Amino acid sequence: MTDDRPNPVDPSVVDIDVLAGWMDARGLAEGALTELTPLAGGTQNLLLRFVRAGRTFVLRRPPEHKRRNSDETMRREARVLAALAGSEVPHPALIAAESDIDVLGAAFYLMEPVDGFTPTSGLPAYHAGDPAVRRAMGFSLADAAAALGRVDHVAVGLDGFGKPEGYLERQVPRWRSQLESYAELGGDWTPDIPHLDGVGEWLDANRPATFEPGVIHGDYHLGNVMYRHDTPDLAAVVDWELATIGDPLIDLGLIVAFWPEEGGQATAVSVTPWDGFPSVDEMVARYGDGSTRDLSAVNWYGVLACYKTGIILEGTHARAMAGQAPKAFGDMLHATTVGLFNKADLIIRRS
């Protein structure tokens, strides 16, 4: 879940002649780059689809006004996509990557286009018209998360991609520190979030003692996947900017955090129509079918997902209070944060 407004996708940010020369040096087709089309999807980075010699490419790079860690994030995305090649995890296929910012002013990579749709933007008739299809869609999401958790990160070259030692112990202090840092923005912002202290204390008191390290997507929900047009299967998991090595059950926790309660109440990432989708308990059980991990603390991971995501989103509310983001947008994300902390409290009371 992003913490800021979408950046306008401006193809002029990319020097097409330089990009063509870079591709020439790597034997990536020949001739002019045509049919340049900005793509939606992702909010912090530019996506540009184009055609060269009949082959379609998608370029991904940071926006013109980069964040401090934008280039390193792009390098990490490319690295994890390269590592996932040949795995059971549906993902955009990496074509080539450039870590040197002097080529296009930022690190970037090229990937194959994904033939699919994002369900939070609306369901096609095939998916909208059949609850059984939507049920299978839910299970496909759980299956892909389990498949990612099965990836041997050392074997695929991701050793050192993250710091799994002390990963769970770092979570609450890290996110609480980020929340407190928002005060430095100025303005009238205060952390007016229900259950803030109680949720953090519960997380510290109930933290799992051990875990098996693996690859984490880090932002795993229905807004960050694409489905095939003709089946309920995932076409790709996208937006890998938060990927790292840690406890893969973090991704299952995100499913729990964002999954609507029985009855289909909307969440921060909702799909319409919702009837037919599995219950959250069925999603957890399906994940367990594809995993050997201990799921007894699944509620802890769901609460952590609410805590972490709510704090990230609260950053935009703080910027809005400091006059650095639109107030209406900040208010909307603050309401989402409140909803996530209320859900965390509900999960705790049910545990």
Q: From the first residue on, what is the mean pLDDT of each consecutive set of 10 residues in the chain (351 residues)?
A: 42 87 97 91 77 97 83 96 97 98 96 96 96 98 98 96 95 96 91 96 96 96 95 97 96 94 60 93 97 97 95 92 91 93 94 85
- For residue 269, the model assigns a pLDDT of 75
- For residue 7, the model assigns a pLDDT of 41
- For residue 270, the model assigns a pLDDT of 80
Query: Which stretches within the chain are classed as H helix?
Result: 16-25, 70-83, 125-128, 131-150, 167-181, 196-205, 249-258, 280-289, 298-321, 327-350
* 94-98 and 55-61 strand pairing: unpaired
- For residue 11, the model assigns a pLDDT of 58
Total residues belonging to the chain: 351
CA distance to 26, 92, 102, 201, 247, per residue, from 241 (Å): 25, 13, 21, 28, 16
* 304: Cα separation from own chain's centroid: 15
CB-based contact 336:349 (threshold 8 Å): no
CB-based contact 331:259 (threshold 8 Å): no
pTM: 0.90
- For residue 59, the model assigns a pLDDT of 97
CB-based contact 153:245 (threshold 8 Å): yes
- For residue 1, the model assigns a pLDDT of 43
- For residue 186, the model assigns a pLDDT of 87
Q: What type of residue sits at position 221?
A: H
Q: Domains plus CATH for the chain? A: 11-111 (3.30.200.20), 119-350 (3.90.1200.10)
Residue 314 CA to residue 303 CA, distance in Å, equals 16
Give the chain's radius of gyration (CA, Å): 20
Q: What type of residue sits at position 342?
A: N
Angle at 324 between CA 39 and CA 59, to 5 degrees: 20
